[in-house]
């Protein structure tokens, strides 16, 4: 992913659901692309599938779309894709039940990474209350049940408040980029993180990609900096390591999208006809 403060390679553990939080311009894109470029070989082999959600019209993830097995750039398709992820996750759990308690990735049953950029656009800012409810339910289900069966959620947002992401506590690996204040640092990395040395609110504006990472394997927050990937590197890697298949997200036909039924022709009763005559 980049370098640690000590100059060692920074490697991000896959498996824990991961929340990336940072103010605008703090370098969330560096985290996303360090992850995707690092997974390129596994994506091309079919061992890993990345299902991407980019509600900025696809401006961010669209550049590397060949690396994605599934892609949604609006709320309706995103919620449909999340619900399909839940269905596939639960089907895999039923298949593994009684055989093993931990999924091992293969080309037949790959590790599925659900990568969501600007998560709050679904969980808090979506104007359609039903879509918002379904999105929160799907994310909570994936984050509470997906780890053992090979479904991992990695989500990015700017506002880490609980109201923005009700399922925040289900993300056991967190990355705090530059944040606005000590309170937000504590929201992302937990109580005591500031005292332990995590100073996300003091990261300079001119140091995008600098972050503190905390997971269930780290006793204290680790200061890191993600590598920078330019547009040329992203597009070249996406073409060279494209996913072996792409599965479009198809929104089920609903009553509102069907052609409205023609109104029935009203028949006149015998009494009405007699009265009119």
State the DSSP string of 33-92: HHHHHHTHHHHHHTSEEEEEEETTTTTTGGGGGGG-SEEE-SHHHHHHHHHHHHHHHHHH
- Tell me the pLDDT tens digit for each residue of 227-277: 999 999 999 999 999 999 999 999 988 744 444 445 455 555 544 544 454
Q: What pLDDT is stored for residue 222 in this prediction?
A: 93
Count of structural domains, the chain: 1
Q: Picking from 85-89, 96-100, 112-116, 151-155, which range would have the lowest pLDDT averaged per residue?
A: 96-100
C-alpha to C-alpha distance for 147 and 149, rounded to whole angstroms: 6
| CATH number of the structural domain spanning residue 101 | 3.40.50.300
Q: Which domain holds residue 33?
A: 2-276
Mean pLDDT of the chain: 89
Sheet holding 151-157, edge to edge: 9-10, 2-4, 222-226, 210-214, 173-176, 18-21, 151-157, 111-117, 48-54, 70-72
Could you give the maximum distance between any two Cα atoms of the chain, in Å? 98
Contact 73, 57 (CB under 8 A): yes
Phi, psi (degrees; rounded to nearest 5) at 207: -125, 55
Q: What pLDDT is stored for residue 102 in this prediction?
A: 81
Tokens 């009203």 appear where?
Answer: 266
C-alpha to C-alpha distance for 104 and 154, rounded to whole angstroms: 19
The residue length of the chain stands at 277
Task: Using CB atoms within 10 Å of the CB of residue 187, give its burial: 0 to 12 exposed, 13 to 18 middle, 19+ buried.
Answer: buried
Section 187-212 average pLDDT? 92
Q: What confidence tier does 84 reach under pLDDT thresholds 50, 70, 90? A: very high
Q: What percent of the chain clears pLDDT 90, i.e. is strictly above it?
A: 70
């Amino acid at each position: 992913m980049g370098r640690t403060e000590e100059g060692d390679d920074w490697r991000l553990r896959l498996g824990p659901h991961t929340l990336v939080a940072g103010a605008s311009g703090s370098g969330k894109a560096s985290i996303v692309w360090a992850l995707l470029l690092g997974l390129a070989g596994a994506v091309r082999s079919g061992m890993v599938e990345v299902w991407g959600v980019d509600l900025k019209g696809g401006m961010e993830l669209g550049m590397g779309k060949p690396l994605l097995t599934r892609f949604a750039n609006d709320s309706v398709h995103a919620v449909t894709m999340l619900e399909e992820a839940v269905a596939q996750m639960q089907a895999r759990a039923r298949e593994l039940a009684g055989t093993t308690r931990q999924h091992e990735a293969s080309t037949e049953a790959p590790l599925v990474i659900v990568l969501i950029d600007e998560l709050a656009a679904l969980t808090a800012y979506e104007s359609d209350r039903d879509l918002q409810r379904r999105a929160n339910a799907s994310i909570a289900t994936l984050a509470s049940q997906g780890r053992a069966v090979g479904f991992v959620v990695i989500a990015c947002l700017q506002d880490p408040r609980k109201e923005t992401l009700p399922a925040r506590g289900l993300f056991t690996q967190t990355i705090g980029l530059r944040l606005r204040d000590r309170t937000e640092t504590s929201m992302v990395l937990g109580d005591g993180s500031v005292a332990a040395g995590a100073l996300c609110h003091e990261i300079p504006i001119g140091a995008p990609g600098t972050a503190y990472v905390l997971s269930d394997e780290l006793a204290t927050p680790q200061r890191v900096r993600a590598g920078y990937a330019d547009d040329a590197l992203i597009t070249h890697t996406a073409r060279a390591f494209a996913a072996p298949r792409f599965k479009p997200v198809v929104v089920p036909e609903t009553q509102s999208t069907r052609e409205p039924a023609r109104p029935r022709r009203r028949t006149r009763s015998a009494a009405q006809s007699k009265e009119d005559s």
